[in-house]
């Protein structure tokens, strides 16, 4: 029997026969079984409420689907760190005459989170009208290089990979929300913009430099967020390992 051709990880050459239902965005991130979705052909102009189990596509074989489960865990950990950060803000903002509190420190695995963003961008674009990455020539299919990076078998080149975008004085609107916006050049997906629980990320699939609009800045490598409450350091989020 031939391996399934619908698996976007087929360039690895070790597919199982059965295609599984892969969530376009990891289901573990959401606490409700009902979610609001917008941007697909069937919900382009206004959000629609659907069951979380319906936001799936048959685009990975069972082996490669399960092989990316560590990325879902890394994304959930990051999501929970951002949740805890906001909860801590709310608690400490209500303290009158705050005592000297312990500074909380949170860590996020940067390389695993970077691969999760790549996996999610591929999931959203797979089977659609654009080749994914400059090295791909088939619609809705990632290049072999990107597949290898998603599975930890390769690395992004200099200038490529995940960035955080920010503006001076920006307020984080942190909610259980994930937005994905593929960016194309000519006929290929070359990048993706994400809103990940209020934090804005940018995944660059090409070595060329991208210029952000307005006063936005890109931050790469080891990134540390220092969170102040009542003008005092409350907690630190460290995205390490890039």
Within-domain flag for 40: yes
Within-domain flag for 93: yes
Average the pLDDT over 44-71 and give the result.
88
Write the CA distances from 60 to 17, 108, 172, 200, 238, integer angstroms: 10, 27, 34, 27, 32
Examine the pLDDT at 3 and tell me if it is beyond 80.
no
Residue 145, burial from CB neighbour count under 10 angstroms (0-12, 13-18, 19+): buried
Within-domain flag for 2: no
Within-domain flag for 100: yes
Going by the DSSP 8-state scheme, the letter that residue 95 receives in this structure is -
pLDDT of residue 237: 93
Can you tell me the distance from the alpha carbon of 155 to that of 104, in angstroms, rounded to the nearest whole number? Answer: 32
More confident residue, 210 or 97: 97
pLDDT, tens digit, 9 for 90 and up, residues 145-159: 999 999 999 999 888
- Which H or E run includes 20? strand 19-23
Can you tell me the distance from the alpha carbon of 102 to that of 63, in angstroms, rounded to the nearest whole number? Answer: 44
Q: What is the mean pLDDT of the chain?
A: 86
Can you tell me the distance from the alpha carbon of 35 to that of 60, in angstroms, rounded to the nearest whole number? Answer: 23
pLDDT, tens digit, 9 for 90 and up, residues 181-225: 999 988 899 999 998 988 889 999 988 766 655 555 556 555 888
The tally of domains found in the chain comes to: 1
pLDDT of residue 61: 94
Any residues with CB less than 8 A from the CB of 16 and at least 6 apart, and which? 3, 4, 61, 62, 63, 64
Can you tell me the distance from the alpha carbon of 157 to that of 222, in angstroms, rounded to the nearest whole number? Answer: 17
Within-domain flag for 16: yes
Question: Which residues share a beta bridge with 181?
Answer: 193
Can you tell me the distance from the alpha carbon of 88 to that of 172, in angstroms, rounded to the nearest whole number? Answer: 14
Within-domain flag for 1: no
Count of positions (residues) in the chain: 242
**Which range scores top for mean pLDDT: 12-16, 30-34, 213-217, 220-224?**
12-16
Worst-scoring range by mean pLDDT, 66-75, 123-132, 176-185, 216-225?
A: 216-225
Examine the pLDDT at 1 and tell me if it is beyond 50.
no
Show the domain range for 87: 10-240
Within-domain flag for 4: no
Residue 226, burial from CB neighbour count under 10 angstroms (0-12, 13-18, 19+): exposed
Average the pLDDT over 167-183 and give the result.
76
The stretches of 20-68 forming alpha helices (DSSP H) are 62-66
């Amino acid at each position: 029997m031939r391996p399934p051709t619908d698996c976007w990880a087929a360039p690895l050459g070790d597919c199982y026969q059965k295609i599984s239902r892969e969530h376009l965005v990891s289901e573990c991130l959401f606490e409700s079984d009902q979610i609001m979705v917008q941007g697909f052909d069937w919900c382009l102009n206004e959000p629609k409420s659907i069951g979380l189990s319906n936001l799936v596509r048959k685009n990975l074989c069972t082996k490669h689907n399960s092989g990316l489960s560590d990325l879902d865990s890394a994304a959930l950990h990051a999501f929970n760190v951002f949740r805890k950060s906001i909860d801590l803000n709310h608690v400490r903002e209500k303290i009158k005459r705050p005592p000297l509190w312990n500074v909380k420190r949170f860590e996020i695995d940067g390389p695993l989170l970077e691969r999760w963003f790549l996996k999610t961008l591929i999931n959203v674009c797979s089977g659609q009208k654009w080749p994914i990455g400059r090295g791909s020539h088939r619609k809705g299919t990632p290049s072999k290089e990107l597949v290898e990076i998603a599975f930890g078998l390769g690395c992004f080149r200099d200038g490529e990979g995940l960035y955080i975008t920010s503006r001076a004085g920006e307020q984080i609107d942190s909610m259980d929300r994930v937005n994905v916006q593929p960016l194309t050049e000519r006929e290929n997906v070359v990048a993706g913009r994400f809103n990940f629980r209020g934090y804005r990320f940018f995944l660059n699939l090409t070595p060329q430099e991208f210029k952000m609009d307005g006063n936005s800045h890109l931050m790469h490598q080891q990134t540390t967020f220092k969170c102040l409450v009542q003008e005092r350091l409350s907690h630190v989020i460290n995205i390490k390992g890039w």
